[in-house]
Chains A and B, each alone.
Chain A
Amino acid sequence: MGFDRKAVIAGVYEHPTRWAPDKTMFQIHAESARGTLVDAGLTIKDVDAYFTSGVGPIGVLSMAEHLNLQPRYLDSTSIGGSSFVAHVTHAAAAIAAGLCEVALITYGSTASSERFAVGTGGGFAGDPPDHFEGPFGPTVLGSYALVAQRHMHEFGTTSEQLAEIAVTIRRHASLNPVAKFRDPITVEDVLASRIVSSPLHLLDCCIITDGGGAVVVTSAERARDLQKRPVYVLGGSEACCHTSMGKRDLTDMAAQQSGPRAMAMAGMTHKDIHMCMIYDSFTITVLETLENLGFCKKGEGGAFVQNGRIGLGGELPVNTDGGGLSSNHPGMRGIFLVIEATKQLRGECGARQVKDCEIALCHGTGGMLGLRHSGATLVLGRG
C-alpha cells in the first residue's frame, strides 16, 4: 500500500501579497502557477494535471481556460480549506497510477480586499442540515467556539493555554518577512482582546488576508533532473466528521481517522515527525488537532502546547511560517501548509528553519469544526 516513493513535490510558491486590491483572484492563481513552475524548473506546457478549489462549481474549468491548460487529469475536490492538502494526496495517487505526470495545484483569493467576513459572515448554504442550523445563527467561528467550550468543560483546558498557541505562532511570524503580523504578543494580549464568540478572543482567530500559492507534484523519475531537492509524498489520507445523527462527541475530529492512516502509509510514528503544519483557523483547532493526531492524549493538549514544545527549538515545532493566526489566511489555507513543510524539508527557511528537518506532517481542517468538517493529513519526507 502507498505511493512507494513514486510521487514528489517538485515546486512550491507562496504569493507574497497580503493585500491585493489591484489584482483579481484568477490573476493570483496565475502568478502563483508561474512561481511554482519557475521553482520546479518546469514550464506551463509540461503540466498535464490540474487541481484547484474555492473557485465555484465548475471554476476548475474556468481556471484551466485562464491558464490555457489541456490537462488529462482534473480535480476540484472542495472540502473546505483543507482541499489543497487532499489535492496533493490525489495527485500522488494519480501519478503513481500513471494517469498523469506533472500536476499543478493553484489557489488564489482576494478575501481581504473584497472585505469578505470569512468567519463571522453567517452564510446559509441551503443543504438539508443547514435548514436545522442556519435559523439559529451559527458562524464559522461559532462552530469552533462550541468545541472550545466543550473542551474546556471536559478537560479543564484554559484560555491561557489556547493563548499560548497564538503567542508561539506569532513568534514564528516575526521570523517570516512576508507575514502580515510580526510584532510579538503575550498571553495577556490575547486574553485582553475582545471575545468574538465565547470562549474565543479576537487573537484566538486567524487573520483575513488576500493571497495565494501553488504546488507542483510530479513523478520521482521526472524529478530526477529537476533543479530542486525533491520532497517525497510518503502518505496521505482524508476523513470527514459531522453531527453523526445527533450523537457526535465534539472533541472527536476527522484528524483522528486520517492521521493514523497517513502515518501508517508513510511507515512513520509520532517520534519520526520533525515538524507539523496544522491548519490554525483558531487556536482550538491546533490544540484539538494535536490531540486527535495522537501527539498527546485527549485532554492533554492544553499542557502539551505550553513551555515552548510547539515553538521553534521545541520538541515539535508547529506552523513555523506564522500560520493563519499571524502570516496569512485568505479563506482556505491548506496550500500554505504544504508549501511551508516543503521549504522546511528543503532547508530553505532561513531564520525559522527547523534543524535537520527530514519528516514533516501537514494536517488541514476544512469547514465548520462543531458542525461538519474535513480533515486531510499528509506526511512528507526529504529526498
Chain B
Amino acid sequence: MADEKKYKKPLPRIDEESKGFWEASQRHELYVQKCRACGALRYYPRALCPACLSDDTEWVLSSGRGTVYTYTVTHQNQAAGFRDELPYVLAYVELDEGVRMLTNIVGCKPDDVKIGMPVEVTFEDVNPEVTLPKFKPAT
C-alpha cells in the first residue's frame, strides 16, 4: 500500500454509480458494464446505459488483458504527485472485451511501450478504499 501521507495525486470519488467498479478493484478484479436490455458494453461505469437508457446492468469480469491503443510518455506535468514521477506513460488500453480505458503502463521502461503491445492489468493499492487498475506488459 502506498504511503497515504505521501500520495498527492487525485483520488477518484467512489459514489453510487461507480462503487461496484472500485470495490472490485479492491479485490483486484476488473469489471466492465454490459446493458442487459440492449447488450451494449460501456466504460467508464455509470448507472444508465447511454445507448438505451436502461438501468438493468450486468457487471462483466474482464480478463484483464488487452493491447495498447495509444499512449504518451509524459515529460511535463506540474500537478502534485505526477511531477515527482516523470516521465510516466499515460495510455488507452483496449481490453479484449472491446472497450478502451485510460490508464498508466507500468512495469517497463517508458520507451519500450508501443501501440499494439499486449498488456495485462496490475492493481495499485493506494489506500484501503482505492485501488487503481494499471497495466504492464503481458507475460
A and B form one complex: yes
Binding site for B on A (CB under 8 A): 117, 120-124, 126, 128-129, 131-139, 141-142, 145-150, 153, 194-200, 243, 245-248, 250, 370-371
- Measured between beta carbons, the chain B residues less than 8 angstroms from A245 are 40-43, 50-51, 99
How long is the Cα–Cα vector from A117 to B79 in the complex, in angstroms? 10
Give the B interface residue count (CB, 8 A).
46
Q: Are B74 and A142 in contact (CB-based, < 8 A)? A: yes
- Measured between beta carbons, the chain A residues less than 8 angstroms from B72 are 142, 145-146, 148-149, 197-200
- Chain B residue at minimum C-beta to C-beta distance from A115: B78
- Produce 1/0 per residue, B77-91, CB < 8 A to A: 111111000001011
B54 close to A (CB within 8 Å): no
Q: Are A146 and B115 in contact (CB-based, < 8 A)? A: no
A247 to chain B, nearest CB (A): 7
Q: Are A135 and B76 in contact (CB-based, < 8 A)? A: no
- Measured between beta carbons, the chain A residues less than 8 angstroms from B130 are 135
How long is the Cα–Cα vector from A70 to B67 in the complex, in angstroms? 56
- Measured between beta carbons, the chain A residues less than 8 angstroms from B102 are 132-133, 136, 138, 371
Asked whether A197 and B78 contact (CB < 8 A) given A136-B132, A137-B104, the answer is: no
- Chain B residue at minimum C-beta to C-beta distance from A132: B44
- Measured between beta carbons, the chain A residues less than 8 angstroms from B100 are 243, 246-248
Partner of B75, one of A131, A147, A197: A197
A140 to chain B, nearest CB (A): 10
- Measured between beta carbons, the chain A residues less than 8 angstroms from B18 are 128, 131-132
Q: Are A135 and B9 in contact (CB-based, < 8 A)? A: yes
- Chain B residue at minimum C-beta to C-beta distance from A134: B10
Can you give 15 contacting A-B residue pairs, CB < 8 Å? Answer: A129-B44, A131-B18, A134-B9, A136-B132, A137-B74, A137-B81, A142-B77, A149-B115, A153-B70, A197-B90, A198-B72, A245-B50, A246-B32, A246-B42, A250-B70
How long is the Cα–Cα vector from A370 to B73 in the complex, in angstroms? 15
Q: Which 6 A-B pairs have the closest CB atoms?
A: A122-B79, A246-B99, A246-B43, A145-B72, A150-B70, A131-B12
Q: Are A120 and B78 in contact (CB-based, < 8 A)? A: yes
- Measured between beta carbons, the chain B residues less than 8 angstroms from A136 are 90, 102-104, 132, 134
Q: Are B70 and A149 in contact (CB-based, < 8 A)? A: yes
How long is the Cα–Cα vector from A150 to B77 in the complex, in angstroms? 21
- Measured between beta carbons, the chain B residues less than 8 angstroms from A120 are 76-78
- Measured between beta carbons, the chain B residues less than 8 angstroms from A199 are 72
Q: Are A137 and B79 in contact (CB-based, < 8 A)? A: yes
Q: Are A196 and B90 in contact (CB-based, < 8 A)? A: no
- Chain A residue at minimum C-beta to C-beta distance from B45: A132
- Chain B residue at minimum C-beta to C-beta distance from A243: B100
Q: Are A247 and B99 in contact (CB-based, < 8 A)? A: yes
B131 to chain A, nearest CB (A): 10
Q: Are A197 and B73 in contact (CB-based, < 8 A)? A: yes
Inter-chain pairs besides A149-B71, A246-B44, A370-B70, 18 sampled, C-beta below 8 Å? A120-B78, A121-B78, A122-B10, A122-B77, A134-B9, A135-B9, A135-B12, A137-B79, A137-B81, A142-B77, A142-B90, A145-B74, A146-B92, A153-B115, A197-B75, A245-B40, A245-B43, A246-B43
| Max count, chain A CB within 10 A of own CB: residue among B13, B17, B77 | B77
B69 close to A (CB within 8 Å): yes
| Max count, chain B CB within 10 A of own CB: residue among A124, A139, A199, A371 | A139
- Chain B residue at minimum C-beta to C-beta distance from A199: B72
- Produce 1/0 per residue, B24-48, CB < 8 A to A: 0000000010000000111110100
How long is the Cα–Cα vector from A128 to B19 in the complex, in angstroms? 12
| Max count, chain A CB within 10 A of own CB: residue among B10, B73, B132 | B10
Partner of B13, one of A126, A133, A150, A153: A126
How long is the Cα–Cα vector from A197 to B42 in the complex, in angstroms? 28
- Chain A residue at minimum C-beta to C-beta distance from B94: A246
Q: Are A197 and B41 in contact (CB-based, < 8 A)? A: no
Q: Are A197 and B74 in contact (CB-based, < 8 A)? A: yes
- Measured between beta carbons, the chain A residues less than 8 angstroms from B70 are 146-147, 149-150, 153, 250, 370
- Measured between beta carbons, the chain A residues less than 8 angstroms from B43 are 132, 243, 245-246
Q: Are B115 and A135 in contact (CB-based, < 8 A)? A: no
- Measured between beta carbons, the chain A residues less than 8 angstroms from B71 are 146, 149
Q: Are A195 and B73 in contact (CB-based, < 8 A)? A: yes
How long is the Cα–Cα vector from A134 to B12 in the complex, in angstroms? 8
Asked whether A132 and B101 contact (CB < 8 A) given A137-B88, A146-B70, A246-B42, the answer is: yes
How long is the Cα–Cα vector from A193 to B87 in the complex, in angstroms? 17
